[in-house]
Amino acid sequence: MGNNDLNNEQNRVDEVVEKLYHRIDKTQIEYDKAHNETKRVQQNYGNNTSVNYVEVDDRIETSADLQQQRGLVNKVVQSEAIIKNQLDTYRKLADSPYFGRIDIQDEDETDSDSLYIGTASFVDDDENFLVYDWRAPISSIYYNGTLGKVKYQTPAGTQSTELIKKRQFQISNAHIDNMFDTNETVGDEMLQNVLGQQHDEVMQNIVSTIQKEQNDIIRDTYNDLLVVQGVAGSGKTSAILQRIAFLLYHSRSSLEADQIILFSPNRLFSHYISDVLPSLGERNMRQVTLQEFIDHRLEGINVQSLFDQYELETQYSVDDKEIQAFKQSHTYMQRIEEYIKTILNEDIAFQSILVDGNIFFDKDVIRNIYAEQPQLMKPADKFLKTKNRLIEILKKRIEIEVYKPWVDEEIDQLSSEQYHDYMTGKQLGSFQDQDDERYYIAKQIVTKKFRKVYDALYNNSFFDAYRQYENFMQQVVLPEQLNVDKWNQDEKDFEDKLELHQVRLDDAAPLLYLRDLMVGGGQNRKMQYLFVDEMQDYSIAQLIYIKHAFPETKINLIGDSEQALFKEVEAPQALLNKLNEAFSTKKSRLVTLNRSYRSTYPITNFAKSFLPNGDEIEAFNRPGKTPELFVRHNIEQSLSALVACAKQELTEEGTVAIVTKNLKQAKELHQHIYKQLNPTLLADTDRSLPKGVIVMPIYLAKGLEFDSVIAWDVSKDNFPNDQYIGTLYTIATRAMHHLTLISNGPISPIIANANIPINEVKIDHQQ
């Protein structure tokens, strides 16, 4: 490519940027206008809401008026936000208007067209498309096609054309820093450049270098279930975030960002990815961790965390594991469905509703009402009918209670201030006589007293889901191999924990499923897309419950079976089959990503060498330092090796993450090195990553990456067998540029057997 080419391209950049600045000026004027309008409408609304209501009718009128005004406020706020968004987009484009160019020639044309592709589209005042959005149908050629005949999808069907040139740019401050012509999807040179950079505090979008397989994930609009199995660092998380941006663009008129929900591994991760969509001009989707989702639905109960479960799982016996496998299975959830269908009225865990210690609704009365409902009706519908009937009875009781002597007594004891409060909104002379006025106050007093009953009915508190689950556990048909005594013990353990307001994680999803099927509700039908990242950390039972909670969604599950902590690896195809069965999906697809981008070539090669199927992983060819392993034979020496390494790494890289097997070790280590390194110990509740030395257990580092990682204590004692392969693999693959391992004692067989290319093994004999 000659200088001439570069000059021509730079000239085009200059022209486009000039037009962009012109547009920015125009839009800024529009924005200022919109901003003033918002201020004016808001002020007006503020003045009106402070009106004093004197007359009841006035109030009604004012409230209709207010509603109209509130609508107006929302409208102006929204249009201001839209203009602000446009302004931000143009400003970003003015810095770097595009990253790609494709020259295409349709069959019946004699000339080719040059199209430029950027993070958003830009059309000039004469309707010329100066930049195409990367999500436009035509842009897929940039990601998919090699030179020659190519096809692309449009709303009108498949189109074909000839791709005669593909060019990539790196532009910053409106200046072309780099430019390559390539025949590949997106050339390695460009990727090398991007990946060699230092880690940012938050994840960056990858739209300029999306790879072909990633593009398949991003643009899939056909399947109802998309499963992505990708090796560590293969861009799974990146791909799904760009996919969300794509879907929002593709279904602009029917899909809002808050109709998409992403289950993420922890809060740190949520923060880490929070900038990607805004950097593409889109709002963030909803995010939740499994823990938050379950805690919210089991209020007042302390649900075991996934991390506590990890720590316990290492001590599980064979029987414990079988019980766990059963509770995590599709079969277990099916048994719940069967149980609900065939449950006998006398087995339903109704409970009486009490007021001040006295029974208001007896559980047998409730059971009788329930039993009166048509037999073939679903339990959830019977529940609703029962509830409505109970509310009717409550209303009647209130009417009767109004005339009871205790109410007269209460009225007599009201201070004039309290009396006045009850009369708020009523004018003197509003009542025909004194009885009328008394009735008005009495009704409020009684309603207040029975408010609790109403709340109890509203919240289905006349049903005890926990006892129902116990009943289910007592009746469920167990798989043949399961130890019945152990199961009974497990059920007893459930009861004991409940006394302490605790529930184990493996019981949470089945329990919630049972409760929802029994009483109805718990479903959000507005949500359109469901994404689960790190799916290997979810049981099938949990996924079934999540799908039940968002029944209308298309499902996207993303993970890496090799990164399963403390458990056996599951083959992706076997998993897809299980999921297809569990969700009864017809259109599903499994995409496998085998190329790893995060780490340098030596780090990926090291990490893959201890996986049984490691050969399938393709390391991206980015040069770097070979991982170093330090073996020491007592804790003091190991710690001093760690401190020396961390100090060294800190001078070379901005952040050093010391990653441990579990929280206990992270805490102990933090104590030991506190004085020398002043590290930060990360906790579940942390939302952002500090600079400097960080100590964290691996489960908190899931999905994250660091310039330099030190794996703490890769000894045989700490990682004794194959059960820990996934854990060690996950730790090693968090490193982008440098990886150091410290072993306090002989090294783990996982590493020893892997025949890894370690350039240095130091055994320090000095005390």
Ligand X SMILES: Nc1ncnc2c1ncn2[C@@H]1O[C@H](COP(=O)(O)OP(=O)(O)OP(=O)(O)O)[C@@H](O)[C@H]1O
Footprint of ligand X (CB under 6 A):
191, 194-195, 204, 206, 209-211, 214, 230, 232-238, 560, 597-598, 703, 705, 733
Using an 8 Å Cβ cutoff, are 744 and 638 in contact? Answer: yes
Q: Name the minimum Å distance from CB 603 to ligand X.
A: 12
Comparing CB distances to ligand X, the nearer of 232 and 323 is 232
In the complex, residue closest to ligand X by CB: 235
Tokens of 681: 């110990």
209 vs 662, beta carbon nearer ligand X: 209
State the Cα–Cα distance between residues 742 and 731, nearest whole angstrom: 12
> Residue 198 or 573: which CB sits closer to ligand X?
198
- Which are the contacts of 728, defined by CB distance < 8 A and separation ≥ 6? 610, 711, 714, 719, 748, 750, 751
Decide whether 233 or 281 has the Cβ nearer to ligand X: 233
Would you list which residues are annotated within the binding site for ATP? 230-237
Other beta carbons within 10 Å of 634: 10
Question: SS3 of 354, please?
Answer: strand
Q: Which two tokens stand for residue 664?
A: 């206990």
Least spacing, CB of residue 242 vs ligand X, in Å:
9
Least Å distance, CB 578 to ligand X, is 21
Q: What angle do CA 266, 490, 536 make, to 5 degrees?
A: 30
Smallest gap from Cβ 686 to ligand X, in A, equals: 18
Q: Least distance (Å) from ligand X to the CB of residue 505? A: 22
In terms of Cα–Cα distance, which of 344, 337, 395 is closest to 370? 344
Rounded to the nearest whole angstrom, what is the least distance from the CB of residue 730 to ligand X in the complex?
Answer: 7
Smaller CB separation from ligand X, 199 or 547? 199
For the bound state, the minimum distance from the C-beta of residue 24 to ligand X, rounded and expressed in Å, comes to 28
Tell me the β-bridge partners of 693: 656
Pick between residue 161 and residue 208 the one whose CB is nearest to ligand X: 208
Q: Pick from 613, 591, 617: which is nearest to 604 by CA?
A: 617
Which amino acid is residue 415, in one-letter code?
S
| Nearest CA among 148, 548, 603 for reference residue 380 | 548
As measured in angstroms, the least distance from the Cβ of 246 to ligand X is: 14
**Residue 169 or 545 with smaller CB distance to ligand X:** 169
Annotated binding site: 230-237
Query: Closer CB to ligand X, residue 236 or residue 515?
Result: 236
Measure Cα distances from 527 to 288, 520, 552, 559 in Å: 13, 18, 7, 22
Q: How far apart are CA 302 and CA 497, in angstroms?
A: 10
Helices 540-549, 290-297: inter-axial angle, 10-degree rounding: 60
535 Cβ contact partners less than 8 Å away, ≥ 6 residues apart = 227, 543, 557, 558, 559
Q: What tokens does 209 get?
A: 């270098």
User: Is beta strand 113-118 parallel, antiparallel or unpaired with respect to 100-105?
Assistant: antiparallel
- Minimum CB–partner distance for residue 116 and ligand X (Å): 19
- How remote is the C-alpha of 22 from its chain's centroid? 39
Reading phi first (left if > 0) and then psi (alpha if -120 to 50, else beta), residue 148 is in left
- Please tell me the distance from the alpha carbon of residue 569 to that of residue 561, in angstroms, as a whole number: 6
How far is residue 273 CA from its own chain's centroid? 10
Nearer to ligand X, 210 or 527 (CB): 210
- Tell me how far apart the 2 most distant CA atoms of the chain are, in Å: 100
Give the nearest distance from C-beta 274 to ligand X in angstroms. 14
Q: Three-class SS of residue 587? A: coil
Kind of pairing, strands 554-559 and 225-230? parallel
Written in H, E and C, the secondary structure of 366-411 is HHHHHHHCCCCCCHHHHHHHHHHHHHHHHHHHHHHHCCCHHHHHHH
Q: Please tell me the distance from the alpha carbon of residue 512 to that of residue 297, in angstroms, as a whole number.
A: 8
> Which residue type does 648 have?
Q
Residue where the block lists tokens 């340098």? 600
Q: In angstroms, give the least distance from the CB of 52 to ligand X.
A: 57
Reduce the DSSP state of residue 657 to 3 states and report it: strand
> Nearer to ligand X by C-beta: 100 or 230?
230
Contact by Cβ (8 Å): 137, 155: yes
Q: Tell me which residue of 377, 358, 515, 387 sits closest to 462, measured CA to CA.
A: 387
Nearest approach in angstroms of CB 275 to ligand X is 12
3-class secondary structure, 613? coil
Shortest Cβ distance from residue 256 to ligand X (Å)? 24
Q: How far is the CB of 668 from ligand X (least distance, A)?
A: 26
Rounded to whole angstroms, the Cα distance separating 205 from 214 reads: 13
Please give the sequence-ordered ranges of beta strands (E in DSSP) within 380-519, or none if there are none. Answer: 502-503
Find the shortest distance in angstroms from Cβ 474 to ligand X. 41
User: What's the token pair of residue 668?
Assistant: 């102990």
DSSP symbol at 699: G
- Enumerate residues 6+ apart whose C-beta is below 8 A from 89: 119, 120, 281
> What is d(CA 327, CA 466) in angstroms, rounded to the nearest whole number?
16
Work out whether strand 618-619 and strand 588-593 pair parallel, antiparallel, or are unpaired.
unpaired
Residue from 420, 392, 410, 393 nearest 449 by CA: 410
